[in-house]
């Protein structure tokens, strides 16, 4: 079946529409574009201007757009995920000690608080007080340590540079400065608690620094040693700081040995060898420190303690004390060389042995310490000579030595007291002479901080095993 389509002579609606569209007149494109632009400009001119906000957030004011001033954040800041801060919050920042995020904010905050703040510093608050600045200044001028020998000027020129990087050094310097200042000022007792606080902070930070172990750099070890020396000198001014003194001297020896073994030298201090220590002693007088009669009496008295010696460190300490006592009748030089061997007994002892040695119940150790204090008093002229050679000055610490001896004597049983009568008589005679010549103060000494920080010091400094069997320092 074939389908055929025949053409019709009429026109269809579709064809007429197409024809109409082809013959229709198109509008001029340029006229159309100019009309649209005019319409747009008309709409822009008709936009209502907003009232300038004086309390908009800082972000909107910086972008020069209207701020909705909605709390807690405007819509613009919420849309851009930005922190919305209004001028009224500056006072809250000042009160809370927060720091503005821009220089302009810092200036606004300072103007509203009545204090001008440097834009580079913002509103950072120093953790140290005006008294701390006084102690730091006093440390630099009068209280800085004079050890190790040959490094006296280092304490004034190099060590302070590291104080802001190492909290344990900063607090140790402030502790020594505060303690020394309390000894020479009329109202020194007011600063005793401050000195204790700084000592505690120094010990805590020092424990963390030593806990780094092999990660410590050469500089780290040098600054740890500096902190040790500062705490040694502070302990020497503390009423019941004898044990603290021995512990920190041990710390100096241990750290010095670590530095020499690992780095062979120190970048900060001049660490002497045994031969160099002898060279230092050669500059001392070649005359006796004490009379042979007194020395012979002390030797006979200390020999009475020999049957009571129990441990290796007892025997080593006894031998070092006896040799130093004998050297007092020989010369200043020999006495000084033998005195250094007493300190070596402390830092060369094993950890547990040293802990038993300084234990409060170890009466034999306490009796031996009495003879050490006698040596310290008799050696004062030698120390003065060393200071004169190095151009440094030192504060006489006779009163604290008397208090150390008195505290030991009171805690000893009567059977041990009988064995130290002669050294106690010598110490008492020296105390009476000191009081009659210049008088003494009894309110300057610091309370016992050893009871607070004993565990910290012995674990961190002496390398003793901590709970769990972790070795802090080999």
DSSP string, 400-440: HHHHHHHHHHHHS-HHHHGGGHHHHHHHHHHHHHHHHHH--
More confident residue, 283 or 37: 283
Token pair recorded at residue 180:
């020394």
Residue 152 lies in a domain: yes
Residue 72: is the preceding peptide bond cis (ω within 30°)?
yes
Angle between helices 421-438 and 292-303 (to 10 degrees): 140
Residue 150 and residue 167: Cα distance in Å, rounded? 25
Q: pLDDT per residue over 333-362, tens digit each?
A: 999 999 999 999 999 999 999 999 999 999
Q: Rounded to a whole number, what is the largest CA-CA distance in the chain? A: 158
- Is the domain of 181 the same as that of 107? no
What residues pair up with 470 in beta bridges, in sequence order? 466
Residue 254 lies in a domain: yes
| Placement of tokens 């010095």 in the chain | 256
Q: What percent of the chain has pLDDT over 90?
A: 47
Residue 168 lies in a domain: yes
- Is the domain of 263 the same as that of 369? yes
Domain-ending residue, one of 113, 142, 158:
113
Contact partners, residue 441, CB within 8 Å, separation at least 6: 183, 188, 399
Confidence of residue 434 (pLDDT cuts 50, 70, 90): low
Nearest to 281 by CA among 410, 386, 412, 391: 386
Nearest to 335 by CA among 380, 395, 388: 380
Confidence of residue 57 (pLDDT cuts 50, 70, 90): confident
Q: What is the pLDDT of residue 456?
A: 42
331 touches 324 (CB < 8 A): no
Total tally of structural domains belonging to the chain: 2
Residue 139 and residue 160: Cα distance in Å, rounded? 10
More confident residue, 363 or 389: 363
Residue 9 lies in a domain: no
DSSP for 10-68, written as a single string: S--HHHHHHHHHHHSPPPPHHHHHHHHHHHHHHHHHTSPPPPPPSS--HHHHHHT----
Domain-ending residue, one of 113, 140, 156:
113
Average pLDDT, the chain: 77
- Is the domain of 349 the same as that of 430? yes
- Is the domain of 92 the same as that of 138? no
Residue 35 lies in a domain: no
281 touches 150 (CB < 8 A): no
Region 124-152: mean pLDDT is 84
Residue 142 lies in a domain: yes
Region 64-75: mean pLDDT is 85
Q: pLDDT per residue over 195-233, tens digit each?
A: 999 999 999 999 999 999 889 999 999 999 999 999 999
| Placement of tokens 């309370």 in the chain | 447
Say yes or no to pLDDT of 274 above 60. yes
- Is the domain of 163 the same as that of 235? yes
Confidence of residue 61 (pLDDT cuts 50, 70, 90): confident
Region 442-453: mean pLDDT is 34
* Domain range enclosing 161: 130-471
Residue 388 and residue 398: Cα distance in Å, rounded? 19
- Is the domain of 82 the same as that of 203? no
Say yes or no to pLDDT of 150 above 70. yes
């Amino acid at each position: 079946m074939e389908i055929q389509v025949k053409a019709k002579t009429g026109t269809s609606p579709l064809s007429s529409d197409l024809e109409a569209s082809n013959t229709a007149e198109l509008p001029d494109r340029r006229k159309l574009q100019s009309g649209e632009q005019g319409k747009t400009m008309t709409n822009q001119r008709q936009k209502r201007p907003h009232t300038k906000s004086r309390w908009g957030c800082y972000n909107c004011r910086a972008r020069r757009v209207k701020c909705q001033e909605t709390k807690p954040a405007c819509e613009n800041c919420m849309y851009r995920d930005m922190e919305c801060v209004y001028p009224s919050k500056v006072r809250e920042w000042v009160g809370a000690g927060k720091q503005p995020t821009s220089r302009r904010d810092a200036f606004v905050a300072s103007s509203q608080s009545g204090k001008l703040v440097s834009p580079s510093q913002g509103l950072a608050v120093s953790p140290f007080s005006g008294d701390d600045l006084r102690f730091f200044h006093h440390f630099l001028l009068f209280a800085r340590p004079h050890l190790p020998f040959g490094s006296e000027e280092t304490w004034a020129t190099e060590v302070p540079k590291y104080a802001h990087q190492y909290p344990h050094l900063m607090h140790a310097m402030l502790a020594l400065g505060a303690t020394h200042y309390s000894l020479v000022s009329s109202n020194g007792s007011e600063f005793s608690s401050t000195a204790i606080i700084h000592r505690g902070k120094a010990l805590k930070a020092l424990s963390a620094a030593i806990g780094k172990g092999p990660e410590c750099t050469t500089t780290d070890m040098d600054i740890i040693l500096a902190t040790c020396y500062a705490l040694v000198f502070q302990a020497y001014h503390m009423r019941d700081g004898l044990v603290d003194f021995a512990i920190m001297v041990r710390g100096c020896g241990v750290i010095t040995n670590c530095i020499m073994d690992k780095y062979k030298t120190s970048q900060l201090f001049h660490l002497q060898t045994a031969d160099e220590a002898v060279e230092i002693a050669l500059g001392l007088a070649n005359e006796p420190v004490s009379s042979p009669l007194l020395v012979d009496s002390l030797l006979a008295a200390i020999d009475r303690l020999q049957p009571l010696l129990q441990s290796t460190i007892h025997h080593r300490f006894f031998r070092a004390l006896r040799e130093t006592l004998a050297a007092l009748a020989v010369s200043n030089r020999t006495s000084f060389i033998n005195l250094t061997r007493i300190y070596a007994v402390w830092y060369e002892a094993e950890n547990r042995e040293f802990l038993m040695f300084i234990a409060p119940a170890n009466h034999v150790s306490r009796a031996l310490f009495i003879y050490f204090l006698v040596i310290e008093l008799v050696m004062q002229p030698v120390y003065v000579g060393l200071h004169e050679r190095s151009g440094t000055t030192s504060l006489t610490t006779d009163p604290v030595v008397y208090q150390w001896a008195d505290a030991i004597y009171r805690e000893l049983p009567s059977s041990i007291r009988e064995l130290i009568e002669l050294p106690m008589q010598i110490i008492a005679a020296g105390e009476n002479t000191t009081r009659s010549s210049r008088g003494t103060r009894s309110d300057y000494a610091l309370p016992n901080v050893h009871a607070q920080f004993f565990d910290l010091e012995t674990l961190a400094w002496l390398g003793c095993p901590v709970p769990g069997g972790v070795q802090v320092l080999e």
